[in-house]
Amino acid sequence: MKPNAIILLLLLGGTLSAGAQTLPGELPRRLVAPVTSATGPAHSPFAFSREISGAEDVLATAAAEDLVVGFPNPNEIRVISGDLDVDGNVLIVNNGTLRVDGARLRVRGNVHVFHAGTLEVLEGSLEFAPTYLYQYGITAANTSALWLRNSVLQCGGYNVSCAVTDTAALRLDGSSISGGVLTTTLNEWARIDAAGSSNLGEMLFFDSTRGSFTNCDALLSWLTLPAASTLDASMPGAQVLGEWHFPDSAALQTGFGYRISYAGSTNLRWGLMLEAGSEATLRDSDFLAVGGLFRGGGAAEVIGLVNNATPSSYAYPAGDRDVRFENCRVQVWNLYALDNFRLGVRNSIIGEVLAMGRSDVLLQTSICDGTGGYAGTQDQATMLFLQSQLSAPVIARDQSQLTLLLSTVQSHAPHAADNGVVALFHSSFPGLPTVEAGAAAVIMGIDDRAAAPVESDVPLRGSVRFLAGDDLPIHFISFWFDAAREDNPEELLYVAQPSIRERVRDTIGIWDTRGHVPGNHIVRLHMRISTGDTISIPAVIPLAAVNTAAAPAEARPLDLSAWPNPVSKDAALQIRVRPSAPGSRFSISLTDMLGRTRVRRHAEGASALALPVDGLPAGSYLLRLTEGTRSVTRRIHIIP
């Protein structure tokens, strides 16, 4: 379903500041203000984060391509015995029943089951046809039911969400999930019963829900630690040949409303969802993932999470919950912000981060590697990556905004859906963002911000591009740049002529530095769009005096480069050094974020060397070249 909303790009709070000493609070966090909004389905694996529309709201937005059962005829029973493609949503309401009997139902939309509606897939398949993660999903609410018997739920190559709430029920007998992961969230008094089924995806349990898994194979269970709960437990491992019950099989447990039972099941994996106010000790367990859930209107900061951690004793680094891991392995750390929460993340390597509701997330000097999912925003949330790296998919949905500043996207082109906006400022990316109808992407930046000479024509290379979805009546008009001293930003020293041609990784203009004096300068890049608004982004570029005489060899600046970055723990960091003079004696050191020197090497005259990092825990480090009283530093990330 294409959104019919339009968005207006605005500059709220002035220009972004790119100075090294800028506080995060000075950064305007929203680039987008919605003018109108379109009602759409929940896209998140955490469907509880938003209001689930009732049958009336869903029916009010029904389109001609949707398949509707139970309206306007309550108690309607419709049987599909031949393959059917639905180019919209499937809506089952008012005690209606849709039975797929030995056939294939392919849906290019969402499946909603409300008000005692029932969807039965018997000896057949329910297939989705998405084009990105969590584009489509299933919602079962009220007293509705979804039953798969000897059937297959085909996700179509991407993850699909399933929200089961109120007293709705999900039942799988001899069935399986294929072509992606089904992420099922159970809320209120909902339940799931699965027997003889496989590849069930991941299940998240909240409130007073119930789950039963008998003779099942391949399941990730997320066990939530609610506020005010206490737990002392060990997970049973990858198989339960007898029976195991959560939380009743734990050594100590209080404050849990949900119950889950396992019997004769194999290839089990475990996840924890930690809420504020929970208290727990987990012992001798292997967790595929641990998620931090941050709700309400508070604020918190998380520092130092590192994927594939195997500490003998570790306390979760958030002061609003007391959770300890004793002799445990955590493969992936994930973070989730909801409501109006403000979450800060620093010096961490995580697998997934999502911002929902009106939450705001700031990640600094961190890595999201995608091992837990993706980096995404939805609803009206905002997220900013500052001096960070992403190898995860990047998605902005609904009326949300996801911004990268001085950061790197390594392997996935960012995607903007619904009325979402992706903004890339002074950041590198593998390909242009993709945008859907109603969405937008903004790319602005100067690629090389190294020192430039005064009294010269300095070419500036970078990108200025505005990408609008088909239904978005906004377009690029022009761009230009100006320059001023950092200590006197109001006095413009140079203003370039506007250009009406967008550019990507190209020369965006020539900066005439004649009459400038050495020192830091702010070069502001401006983009004018058809709404009459201007988007501005600054960069700090130092200017140096022109030295016509050849500098003596001993006066040349120190230079240090290292690759790959990030570097794997089982590899060696390749280092290239340029000392101030040939034959100079220098040292190379690697220091962790607590200031502890973990590796030190001395050399003389060498230009290249290898520095093994095996034995060092994953995380962020400072690589320092020291020669006498002079030094130069680079930030290095070690990954598992």
Cβ–Cβ < 8 Å for 573, 482: no
581-610 mean pLDDT = 78
Q: Kindly report the average pLDDT of the chain as a whole number.
A: 86
- Residue 358 in tokens: 């009106």
Full-model pTM? 0.79
- Whole-number Cα distances in Å, 226 to 89, 257, 299, 325, 456: 34, 9, 18, 17, 62
CA distance 350 to 543: 37
Q: Quote the percentage of the chain above a pLDDT of 90.
A: 71
Report which of 308, 467, 468 is spatially closest to residue 372, judged by C-alpha positions. 308
Residue 322 CB coordination number (10 Å): 15
- Evaluate if residue 621 carries a pLDDT over 50: yes
Please spell the DSSP secondary structure of 490-503, one letter per residue.
EEEEEEPPPB-S-E
Backbone conformation region of residue 414, classed left if phi is above 0, alpha if psi is from -120 to 50, else beta: beta
Identify which has the larger pLDDT, 12 or 233: 233
Q: Is the bond preceding residue 617 a cis peptide, omega within 30 degrees?
A: no
Could you tell me the domains of the chain?
444-544 (2.60.40.730), 553-639 (2.60.40.1930)
Report which of 320, 216, 204, 200 is spatially closest to residue 272, judged by C-alpha positions. 204
Could you report the per-residue pLDDT of 207-224, keeping only the tens digit for each?
999 999 999 999 999 999
- Residue 437 in tokens: 């109808």
Cβ–Cβ < 8 Å for 479, 498: yes
CA distance 504 to 189: 52
Q: Which residues contact 23 (CB under 8 A, 6 or more apart)?
A: none
| C-alpha Rg value of the chain to the nearest Å | 27
User: Residue 270: its pLDDT value, please?
Assistant: 97
Cβ–Cβ < 8 Å for 636, 347: no
Q: Which residues contact 21 (CB under 8 A, 6 or more apart)?
A: none
Q: How confident is the model at residue 191 (pLDDT cuts 50, 70, 90)?
A: very high
